[in-house]
A and B are shown apart, each in its own frame.
Chain A
Amino acid sequence: MTRTLAISLLTLICAAGPAAAAAAEAEPAPAPIQSMSALAFGPGGVLFIGDSKGGAVYAVELPERQPTEWAEWFTLSDVEGKIAALLGTTADEVMIHDLAADPRTRHVYLAVSRGRGSWGSNWMLPNEAADATLLLVIDGSGAISELVLEPAAMRRVALPNPVDAAKKHPWKDTSLRAETITDMGYDGGVLYVAGLSNEEFASTLWKVPYPFGPGVGATTLEIYHGAHGAFETHAPIRTFVPYRLRGEPHLLAAYLCTPFVTFRTSELADGEHVRGRTLGEFGAGNYPLDMVVYRKDGKDRLLIANSNLPLMIVKPEDIESFEGEILEKPDTYLAGLAYEPRSGTGILQLDALGADSVVALKRMPNGGLNLLTVPVGWF
């Protein structure tokens, strides 16, 4: 889950692409969710659930809840162990696929699976190893409960042409279908959905109008990956946020082995093939996992959690002032835009928790997975 704090306050009329192919319409009686692959919040407290296996996105009207309060520095230790108690199993059988915090009530939602499936490659991600079928809620006291999804409270929209389940990842030997949806973000009447489609250029960005209706647009993406010295179209965006650069709506995105890329959302029209602008190479052998925009001392900052690198802070003004783009293989794995590394490795999930703090799941040195809140003033 990635989201901007600042953008959610803005009302902006999105320059919607020519939705020529009205491929999908909201369905009144939704098919059940097969896999909760990604979570994101939208306007009015609507929770979006991306279903890679089902090739669809759901909008869930959550039951009314009183806002919950979190301590400034809150730690809930061994979250997997506590969820295990709920499921009648042990911590090693619990896997958390995504986390999203409700910006209105500050409840934290987790997509969870029981059983770790069959791990093959060490680089498999949770969605490749199992299907999340449980939605859990954590409040500021650390209490965990299940949210049972009522079909009547959900709307579903199918993504046109999701990647075929028979297609395999070239070296993980997993079905690419698990990567239909890698991340989602809402901005200005549009849910942006990143992942893989069945196109030859598989990396795809779907624009889903919300409230759901006809006119889901799909744009295939291409980037120059400096560390590989090549233009690439097969790897999906791992995490992104909608953000305005000099007032113009963009998506800020990061990929495996960590190229940092911007896309102009006005160019993301249905049926187009768009090349992003690679501004940074942040390091190899790393999944960027989540991005959050927070505001401190009157300035926006982009916070990126990584599988194998520290927390990174990127200044939007550095992105805005960056000239040119990376179009040649750099001498090292690092190039372009600079980031500020912060202590914070092992952060597997990250989201904004209201305007003044973030919530994270962090793998601790003792192997336990802790949920913690961090005030943005600390960064």
Chain B
Amino acid sequence: MSADLYLYAAIFLLALCSVICRAGYLVFGHLMPLSDRVRSALRYAPLAALTAIIVPELLPWHAQYGPLLDFKLAAAIVAIWVFRFTRSALLLIVSGMLALWLLRWVSML
């Protein structure tokens, strides 16, 4: 499969995800009441998926050298710490980026 086709197929499938998840219940909801058990499973799955995307970026695992430590982990910890005090998503992103740049700059001195 060519790279372009792969990319367009991925975009199309993701658009389909948006339609299914967002409109699905509004269109067919009268046919499928959700049980409490299903509702709670639906609550945990998205956060688990986001975690699974974030973790390999912060704690990469190299094929040869095994687990690696990266400045990104330290930067993310700083960002989370800032968020706990400020409750601001903007400050979380800004402080995380600043921390990453600072750590890299210090390590190059």
- A complexed with B: no
